[in-house]
Each structure stands twice: as C-alpha cells, then as structure tokens.
C-alpha cells in the first residue's frame, strides 16, 4: 500500500497579537491508500489545522508534507482531494445540482458529463430526485450529504472531512455515519476525518490519531481493527468499548481533559 499523506516533523506557528501560537509541533504521520483515519482531540489541539495544511489552506512553518508524493499546492491543483466543511456551505442561490456543478464548472467539464456526474454522485449519497431543490428546502443532514456529493464530484482519491456531522443531532449523525461507511466501502477512497466524538471515531476508522493541545501534537496512534462490516450495534461489543477506552485513556494522558 502506498503512502497518500506523509508528514515529517511538521510545524505550524501562527503569529498573533498575543505572541506566537504553536498550532502544530513535530507531526509525523503516514496515511496509506484506502485508510480511514480519524483525528481526535480537544479544541485547540490542531486537528483541523493539520487537515487544512494537507488541503493547502494553511502553509506550514517547518517540516515537510507530501500528498500523493507532491506538495499540497500541486496536489490541490491536481484535485487530489475533496473537502467537506463543518457546515454544508452550499451556495444558497444554486440548486443542489447547481451546487455540485461548481467544482465541475471550474474544471471546465462539458455540460453533458456534468449532468451524468451529478446524477451519479447524488445517487451515491441517496439524494436522487433532489436535483432541482434549493438548499433551504433540505434538512441539515441532507444538506451535508449534498456537500459530500459535491466533494466527490471531481473524483478525488481522498476525502478530507472537518467535523462534517458536528452540527447535527445524534440520530441523524448515526445514520450518516452508517452511510459514510458504506460509501467508503464502495468507493475505496482514503478518508481523513476530524472529530471530537470518541464513538464516532471508533465506529468509522481504521486508524485513530489522538492529538493533544498546546502545542498541537500527536499523542498516540491507535489501530482500530473492527473489520469492514460494522453495523450500528457493534458499538455495544466488547472490542468496540475496549478501543474507545484506549482512546479515552490516550486523551487523558495527553492532558485533553485539563
């Protein structure tokens, strides 16, 4: 399996009015193709910042980062990833189909291909038939699914997801977690997933990166070997609770609860 993301001694210091803030310090991370990696940690541990560095939305101040063996900028220009934000961030003046078309329009793909691609991605997130609806006509969960379809539109190898279900209620969240797992199994994409929910991280991931704050660093990397078939009630199994316990212990040891 090849490395999709590789960081070595990655540092990022923000210069603020109150002096420098060490958002990331000495991050060594190796993500393989097809893995589902969760970044978990308290607020301020740099998990979102790390995701943004990979997406070329932030520039590191030290160390190296390679995405598909390229710099993040080259990877972005090659459309290596699709990014899903905390909010659906759909453009309110465009229909659902119109929203998914935005990245395709920027790529310069012809109308007919766009239409086929939109239909395909909407089917993938179970939103067929909602093409002509405006975002406000959809529930929060459906909007976030549409934004996942949009992230998949330009056929990236990798999905970067920044607490995508953080703003949704638990029932919707469970449902979307299940759907995301199915999607991951179907598409074989590499996923980087930021969360601060322990059950969510354990349920979804093959690998859990526990981070701790001040400075933002990796405390521990935990393998999550629950296998590919994960029904919702796996969360009551002994293996699941054991891994969740390890994550919690890791967070505690990393001073996440201070």
Partner 1 sequence: MTRSVIPVLTVIAAIIAIWYAATIFLNAPFERDQAERADTTITFAEIIPKTMAQERPVLPAPHQVAQELWKTTVRTRITSKRSLIWHAGITLAPTLTGFVMGTLLGILLAVGIVHSRVLDRSLMPWIITSQTIPILAIAPMIIVVLNAVGIQGLMPKAFISTYLSFFPVAVGMVKGLRSPDVMHMDLMHTYSASKSETFWKLRWPSAVPYLFASMKIAIAISLVGAIVGELPTGAVAGLGARLLAGSYYGQTVQIWSALIMAAIMAGLLVTFVGMIGNAVNKRMGVRA
Judged by CB under 8 A, the residue of 22, 63, 115, 134 near partner 1 is 134
Contact between 32 and partner 1 per CB under 8 A: no
Q: Which two tokens stand for residue 25?
A: 């310090």
Judged by CB under 8 A, the residue of 26, 34, 66, 87 near partner 1 is 87
Q: Are the CB atoms for 41 and 251 separated by under 8 Å?
A: yes
Judged by CB under 8 A, the residue of 91, 185, 232, 241 near partner 1 is 91
Shortest Cβ 13–partner 1 spacing (Å): 21
Taking contact as CB under 8 A, which single stretch among the options 14-22, 93-101, 163-171, 239-247 is the one that binds partner 1?
Answer: 93-101
Q: How far is CA 26 from its chain centroid?
A: 21
- Calpha distance 227→243 (Å, rounded): 13
DSSP 161: E
Shortest Cβ 67–partner 1 spacing (Å): 12
Radius of gyration, alpha carbons of the chain? 18
Contact between 106 and partner 1 per CB under 8 A: yes
Shortest Cβ 209–partner 1 spacing (Å): 22
Contact between 184 and partner 1 per CB under 8 A: no
Judged by CB under 8 A, the residue of 22, 32, 33, 79 near partner 1 is 79
- Calpha distance 159→169 (Å, rounded): 22
Place of tokens 């943004």: 52
Which is nearer to partner 1, 13 or 86 (by Cβ)? 86
Which is nearer to partner 1, 102 or 234 (by Cβ)? 102
Q: Are the CB atoms for 148 and 182 separated by under 8 Å?
A: no
- Calpha distance 181→188 (Å, rounded): 10
Q: Which two tokens stand for residue 133?
A: 């609806």
Place of tokens 């990655």: 10
Which is nearer to partner 1, 138 or 211 (by Cβ)? 138
Which is nearer to partner 1, 48 or 206 (by Cβ)? 48
**Side-chain-facing half-sphere of 210: CA atoms under 13 Å:** 23
Binding site for partner 1 (CB under 8 A): 55-57, 76-77, 79, 81-83, 85-87, 89, 91-95, 102-103, 105-107, 134-136, 154
């Amino acid at each position: 399996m090849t490395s999709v993301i590789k960081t070595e001694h990655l540092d990022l210091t923000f210069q603020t009015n109150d002096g420098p803030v060490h958002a990331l310090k000495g991050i060594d991370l190796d993500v393989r193709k097809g893995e589902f990696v969760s970044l978990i940690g308290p607020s301020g541990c740099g998990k979102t910042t790390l995701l943004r560095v990979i997406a070329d939305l932030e520039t590191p101040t030290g160390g190296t980062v390679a995405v598909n063996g390229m710099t993040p900028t080259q990877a972005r220009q090659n459309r290596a990833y699709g990014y899903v934000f905390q909010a659906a961030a759909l453009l309110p003046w465009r229909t659902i189909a119109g929203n998914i078309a935005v990245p395709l329009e920027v790529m310069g793909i012809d109308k007919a291909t766009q239409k086929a691609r939109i239909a395909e991605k909407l089917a993938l997130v179970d939103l067929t038939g909602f093409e002509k609806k405006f975002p406000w006509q959809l529930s929060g969960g459906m909007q976030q699914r549409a934004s996942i379809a949009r992230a998949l539109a330009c056929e990236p190898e990798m999905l970067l997801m920044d607490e995508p279900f953080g703003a949704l209620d638990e029932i919707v969240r469970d449902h979307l977690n299940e759907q995301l797992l199915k999607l991951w199994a179907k598409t074989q994409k590499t996923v980087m997933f930021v969360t601060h929910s322990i059950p969510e991280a354990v349920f979804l991931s093959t690998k859990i990166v526990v981070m701790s704050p001040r400075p933002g660093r990796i405390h521990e990397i935990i393998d999550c070997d629950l296998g590919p078939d994960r029904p919702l009630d796996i969360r009551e199994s002994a293996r699941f609770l054991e891994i969740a316990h390890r994550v919690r212990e890791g967070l505690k040891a990393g001073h996440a609860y201070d």
